[in-house]
Amino acid sequence: MRSVSKQPALAGMMIPFRELVKDSNRIVFVGSIGFCTPFAELLAYALRDSGKEMVFVAGLDLEHAREIVPTPQGMQLGREVDFHGDTVAVLGGLAMPKIGVDPVEVARLVETITGGNGLVIGLCFMGIFERAGWYDHIDFDYVLDSVIDTELFER
């Protein structure tokens, strides 16, 4: 994969993501339980006024896909819904070694969600898809890879 642009902070993930999905109707976020859920909600927040349908699939559990809906507290998971979509956003938490998800299974899941004809976007931190060898298994159209630098301050 080659670099197309570079932007700082979380806006550097949200703004390009919003642009990439501008022609999408139904976006299905697939991520690890707990860790990826808030990132799906954050990315969905960037699309809150777009009229797009958004869904979260925890792990590989298509049967319990949930809609992502706006609430007064921000974007939240709602009721169970159909898992199909024209765009899949694969979240990097799935590729973390402790999660243990097989990228071949994720590739099959993407195929099932889109019917083999959809936009596939990877969203990750610290190059996890590359480090875990996922580029060899999932045909991403785009990957948004963010780097996090943490600095602790004390008084």
- pLDDT digit string (tens) for 52-69? 999 999 999 999 999 999
Q: Does 121 score more than 70 pLDDT? A: yes
- Tell whether the model's pLDDT for residue 10 goes beyond 80: no
Q: How much is the pLDDT for 133?
A: 96
Taking every pair of Cα atoms in the chain, the longest distance, rounded to a whole number of angstroms, is 55
Instruction: Kindly write down the DSSP assignment for every residue of 39-80, as one continuous string.
Output: HHHHHHHTTTTS--EEEEEETT-GGG-EEEEEETTEEEEEEE
Average pLDDT, the chain: 93
Block residue for tokens 């921000």: 74
Q: What is the pLDDT of residue 147?
A: 86
pTM of the model: 0.92
Q: Six-digit token pair at 133? A: 């060898």
CATH fold for domain 11-146: Rossmann fold (3.40.50)
**pLDDT tier, 9 (very low <50, low <70, confident <90, very high otherwise):** low
Query: How would residue 100 be classed by pLDDT, with cut points 50, 70 and 90?
Result: confident
Instruction: Give the mean pLDDT of 14-29.
Output: 96
In the three-class reduction of DSSP (H, G, I as helix; E, B as strand; rest coil), residue 87 is classed as strand
DSSP one-letter code for 141: S
Domain residue extents for the chain: 11-146
